[in-house]
Amino acid sequence: MSRYRYPVIPSSAITPEKVYQQRRTLLKLMGFAGLSSLLGDALAADTADTLTPYEHVTGYNNFYELGQAKTDPAANAHRLKTAPWSVAIEGEVAKPGTYTLEDILKPHAIEERVYRLRCVEAWSMVIPWNGLPLKDLLARFGPTSKARYVVFESIFDPDNLPGQKDNRSGLQWPYVEGLRIDEAMHPLTLLAVGLYGKTLPNQNGAPLRLVVPWKYGFKSIKSIVRIRLQEQQPVTTWNLSAPHEYGFYANVNPAVDHPRWSQQSERRLPSSLFNPNRISTQLFNGYAEQVASLYRGMDLRVNF
């Protein structure tokens, strides 16, 4: 574990993916993976699934501000201006304000978490993220007793972001997402600043994005500029655009189909016509042991 310095990792320290995978395998063989159990829920949730190659993680993306085709975000990545960057922390907190990215990150150790990412479109990846638990950041700003939800907002910059200028998607900008406070404070909920040990590529939501591994990918909002704590459940982008298709909770659930397709299985990337690599989808994306208690007593068909 290392402390954050800006930029996160000097190019001299970049590890090629092969070496990185070998190093992980070695650590596992040496028994370091077993340490996880001592370190609690979060690390224990690190998946043993094969990592999705870097070029797929960074070349097949959903980032509608940068275009709707899967290859658009990488092609238009240079249009996203990530420096200078600041994040407004607002609402039900003791210490609201606008903070530079450096101030936001300075006190936090950056950890690695290997999580499955399951898109609502029924494809999935396994990504080694670098980031900090959202709960540690929120705690610094002192949520009040009225803070029942956390709302996140992405960058709004139509002059530079083609998808906001032409708006073919019909989405309302900026992109907004939200979590219940207990979901936001869960140890698995991560704010990512990197992947594969490298600074987060723009197409993956640089410089700061959310990762909520037990929910469909659209909850994992990219390029965050505002975090607001509030009493009311917020209106969120995909839920607003098609409320019967995309719920507020969006927990991965093979038993609750999307109105236009099944959610029982997923294509694990890389996937092709001749090698579809289709696997069964797991409840809460395989993190039920850690998160099912958050939803005890709730009807997951109603609160989809």
Q: What residues between 163 and 182 interact with ligand MTE by CB under 6 A?
A: 175
Q: Residue 166 burial by CB count (10 A; 0-12/13-18/19+): exposed, middle or buried?
A: exposed
Helix (H, G, I), strand (E, B) or coil at 151: strand
130 binds ligand MTE (CB under 6 A): no
Distance, in Å, from the CA atom of 285 to the CA atom of 191, rounded to the nearest integer, reads: 18
- DSSP string for residues in 195-230: ETTEEPPGGGTTT-EEE-TTB-GGGS--SEEEEEEE
Structure tokens at 254: 């093979």
Piece of 46-54, 80-88, 213-221, 291-299 that binds ligand MTE (CB under 6 A)? 213-221
Applying CB under 6 A, among 77, 104, 119, 184 the residue interacting with ligand MTE is: 119
Applying CB under 6 A, among 89, 185, 188, 221 the residue interacting with ligand MTE is: 221
Piece of 4-12, 16-24, 55-63, 285-293 that binds ligand MTE (CB under 6 A)? 55-63
Distance, in Å, from the CA atom of 303 to the CA atom of 251, rounded to the nearest integer, reads: 9
Helix (H, G, I), strand (E, B) or coil at 112: strand
220 binds ligand MTE (CB under 6 A): yes
| Residue closer to ligand MTE, measured from CB, 143 or 209 | 209
Residue 270 amino acid letter:
P
| Residue closer to ligand MTE, measured from CB, 131 or 217 | 217
Binding map of ligand MTE across residues 229-268, x = CB under 6 A, - = no contact: ----------------------------------------
User: Which residues in this chain contact ligand MTE in the complex, by CB under 6 A?
Assistant: 61-65, 117, 119, 154, 175, 204-205, 217-218, 220-223
